[in-house]
Each structure stands twice: as structure tokens, then as C-alpha cells.
Amino acid sequence: MYLAKKPYPKDEVLFLVLASAFSVLLVLTNIVGVKLFLSPWREDTLTTGIITYPLTFWLTDVVSEIWGKRRANFMVLVGFGMSFIMLLVVQIALHVTGSPAWVAEGNAFGYQGVAEYQNAFDSVFSINGVLLFGSMLAYMTAQLWDVRIYHMIKRWTKGRHLWLRNNGSTMTSQLIDTAIVNSILFYWGFGMEFWLGVEIMLTIYVYKMALAVIDTPLIYLGVYGVKRYLGLKDAIPEPA
């Protein structure tokens, strides 16, 4: 009844939805990103974070275009906070004592006891402190850079060429992220040889650039859809 009488502003509701999606995708990236997989097109090794993380840059650019730099940076900081909470909860879950009830009789994985279940849990969720630092450092640096460059290009082009600021900000920020997080992951986490790590990083970056190009029509679609839904002709003015 209260919502029917006093509905929330549509732009605030939509921003909340986009910010929530951003945080969820970021948290999922931290959870699934430790797995390496083979590309379905070539025998290239990729991290599963490539499935979710590029979408966060798309959301950042949509929010930057409609709500401006302050809201985009706020969303980035909220995502950082949510990731930190997730990582804290995971650390607690790793260290509590497993119960015998956890072991399902005749389970599909063939585990025989709590120790095997715990080992499987640890292998997925355990994150080295150095890796955690690298992940969070890469995230903050890349996302804040993305917002900054996006608006810099927008000023240079006087608001024209959405494709240029979308690709320019995403490609440079993804390069920063790939270099920071994967160098720490591969060298400190997996102990890879230098050139093997470089080869995998370059491969990952090439795939990210391909996704950025694919993302170009999606940014136009996203901005158009938001403006149409909110009944806007231009971006929402930022407060002074």
C-alpha cells in the first residue's frame, strides 16, 4: 500500500538494479575466476572470470553515460565493499569445523568423509592473501580508470562518439586489470614460468578485446533502453 501511494523514483530504482547486478557479477568473478579453462574455439587457456567480469565494465559505462561519474564511482566502491564482505564470509566458512552430516551417503563425487569434503571446499574457495590483494588492487585500479577515461573521452569529443569512449575506456582498463591480477595469479599463485604467464595474459586480453568489440552495439542498446525507460533525451545532470 505504501509503495502504491509513494512509488520510488524510476531512475533511482533502475540505478539500484544496475548497481546490484554489478555487485553480483563482481562477486561471481571473485568466486569462479580461479578456474582456468580451454577456449571452445582454440586450445587457448582462459580464466572463467572472463565470463562475468567484462559485463561489469558494460554496466559501468551505462551508468557513467546516464548518471555520470559520481554514481559510477559510487557503484565501483559499493562493488568493492560487497566483494570484501564475500571474501570475509568465505574465510569464515573455510575455517569452521565441518559436520559429519555434510557427507552425503553415496554422493556423486565419491567422497568418503568430512576431510575430503573440506579439501574440495578449500580447493575452490581458498585464496592466498597475495592473490586477494592483487585481485582487489586490479579491480579498484581498472574500474576507477575506466570511469575516468570514459568521461575524459566524452569531454574531448563533446559528447559524441559513444563507441569511442566505450571502447577506449574498456580496452585500457582491461589491459590494466589483466596485467595486475593475472601476473599475481599466475606467478605467485600457480608458480608459472614468466613467458607462459605472459602468453596466457596476452591471450586473455585478446579475448577481452573481442568481447569489447561485441559490447559496442550493446552499450548503444543499453543506453537507448535506459533513456527510453526513464523518458530521457539526455543524461541525468550531476549535482554541483
22-47: string of b/e by CB count within 10 Å (b at 16+)? bbebbbbbbbbbbeeeeeeeeeeebb
Determine the average pLDDT of the residues in 101-121. 82
On the 0-12 / 13-18 / 19+ scale of CB atoms within 10 A, 172 is middle
Q: What is the pLDDT of residue 224?
A: 94
Buried b / exposed e along 73-92 (16+ C-beta atoms within 10 A): bebbeebbebbeebbeebee
Give pTM, 2 decimals.
0.83
Q: Rounded to an integer, what distance in angstroms lies between the CA atom of residue 142 and that of residue 177?
A: 5
- H/E stretch holding 54 reads helix 49-67
For residue 87, give Cα distances in angstroms to 127, 135, 193: 9, 11, 28
What's the pLDDT tens digit per position in 191-209? Answer: 667 667 777 778 878 888 8
* Alpha-carbon distances of 92 from 80, 86, 87, 98, 180, rounded to whole Å: 19, 10, 9, 12, 27
Query: For 147-157, what is the mean pLDDT?
Result: 93
What pLDDT, on a 0 to 100 scale, did the predictor assign at position 1?
A: 45
pLDDT in tens, 71-105: 999 999 999 899 888 888 888 998 899 888 888 77
Gap between the Cα atoms of 54 and 174, Å rounded: 8
Higher-pLDDT residue of 110, 52: 52
pLDDT for 237 beyond 80: no
Q: Give me the residues paired with residue 190 across strands.
A: none
Q: What share of the chain in percent tops pLDDT 90?
A: 31
Say if residue 38's pLDDT is above 90: no
Domains of the chain: 7-230 (1.10.1760)
Of residues 146 and 4, more confidence is placed in 146
pLDDT of residue 174: 83
Kindly report, residue by residue over 172-194, the tens digit of the pLDDT.
888 888 777 767 666 666 666 76
